[in-house]
Amino acid sequence: MKVNLYLFFRALTGLSLIGLVYLGITFHWIKLLYKPPNVLDSEGNFLPMAPWSAPIVREGSFDPKLIDEIYKKKNITIATTVFALGKYTQFLKDFLESAEQNYFVGFRVHYYVFTDLPEQVPTVKLGGDHHLTVLKVATSNRWQEISLRRMERMEKLIENRLLNEADYVFSLDVDSKFYGRWGVESLGSLVGAIHPWYYKTHNEWFPYERRPESQAYIPYSEGDYYYGGAVIGGLVKDVYQLAKTCREQLDIDAANSIEAAWQEESHLNKYFLYNKPSKLLSPEYLWDDRKSKTPEIKIIRFSQVYKNYHEIRPNP
């Protein structure tokens, strides 16, 4: 039957086997180019939810006043971990000052700032019931190491303190700034943010780790979204499970001398593939200052600031 089909197409197109293979590949890529990405509807707006019924939070999907009232009664604490090692301490001032204007205003927040340079942590006036603890950690001469060790440090912090001190926890990249409200609408048992550079990309083109030797490996046929490593959140116990699993996977990779394409972000994407987030934050919650605003983004709430990698990272 297959041979007959091949002969039929060959007679129809006049192409050789190689020609037909090329034609097939071209059709495949054209199909991918025109297939709408699974986070936007046919008109280019964000879908209300992921296919597993998890809401995608965006402007218009919640009433800020109402949702604040609901959560006020719950008396919750939101722990927030921020890592600022080496030259990244320069980002702390803008991060914290803009957070104080926009981040869980009116709710109890406890920032945990991990740094190797505690003397460079700026004094920022915190709003009522907002607290900050500086935690000194060893310095590192590889930025990849700093970024991926966040999982291990978060795991230990949760084990030692947060299980008793907080209800929810967010881990946020420090080289970022808040431009708009980030509030209780972002809370859920396991929360991931859709990466601003990949929400219009088909999953075959996501920068997942593609080498089967890595624990972060995701085959081309799989994947829902590409999540940014800059925002991880949820209930303390759920984030603990995530951090512990990713740390274990990172340890196995390290023992096998392999580092995933995007360090802990690759492992996070693997984790979210098999442990789906209960809530997704649209790229309003993880934008990039280098990226122009697009029509589907109604408001930018949190965004990566411009940085010259060569100037601020300890290694290329």
Binding residues, by number, are 88, 173-175, 195, 265, 288
CB of 96 or CB of 286, closer to ligand UD2: 286
Output the smallest distance, CB 172 to ligand UD2, in A. 8
Q: Is 265 a catalytic residue?
A: yes
Q: Does 263 bind ligand UD2 (CB under 6 A)?
A: yes
Please state whether 208 falls in left (phi above 0), alpha (psi between -120 and 50) or beta.
beta
Query: Does 147 interact with ligand UD2 (rule: CB under 6 A)?
Result: yes
Given the residues 100, 185, 265, 296, the one annotated as active site: 265
Nearest-angstrom CA–CA distance, 126 and 101: 10
CA–CA distance, 107 with 261 (Å, rounded to integer)? 37
Residue with smallest beta-carbon separation from ligand UD2: 229
Stretch that binds ligand UD2, among 13-21, 139-147, 157-165, 292-300 (CB under 6 A): 139-147
313 contact partners, CB below 8 Å, separation of at least 6: 86, 87, 143
| Residue 214 sits in the site that holds ligand UD2 (CB under 6 A) | no
**Nearest partner of 307 among 251, 243, 236, 230, judged by Cα:** 230
Toward ligand UD2, which CB reaches closer, 172 or 184? 172
Annotated binding site for Mn(2+): 173, 175
Other CB atoms within 10 A of residue 215 CB:
19
Classified as helix, coil or strand, 305 is coil
- Taking CB under 6 A as the criterion, which residues in 225-254 touch ligand UD2? 228-230
| Residues 274-313: x where in contact with ligand UD2 by CB under 6 A, - otherwise, as a string | ------------x-----------------x--------x
Residue of 111, 170, 240, 262 interacting with ligand UD2 (CB under 6 A): 262
Q: In the complex, what is the shortest distance from the CB of residue 203 to ligand UD2, in angstroms, rounded to a whole number?
A: 17
Binders of ligand UD2 among residues 69 to 88 (CB under 6 A) are: 83-86, 88
Which DSSP string do the residues of 40-106 spell out, in sequence order?
B-TTSPBPSB-TTS-BEE-TTSS-HHHHHHHHHTT--EEEEEEE--GGGGGGHHHHHHHHHHHBSTT
List, edge to edge, every strand of the sheet that includes 227-235. Answer: 56-57, 279-281, 190-194, 227-235, 168-172, 77-83, 108-115, 130-136
Instruction: Please state the closest distance from residue 102 (CB atom) to ligand UD2, in A.
Output: 18
Task: Enumerate the active-site residues.
Answer: 265
Residue ranges binding ligand UD2 (CB under 6 A):
83-86, 88, 143, 146-147, 173-175, 195, 228-230, 262-265, 286, 304, 313-314
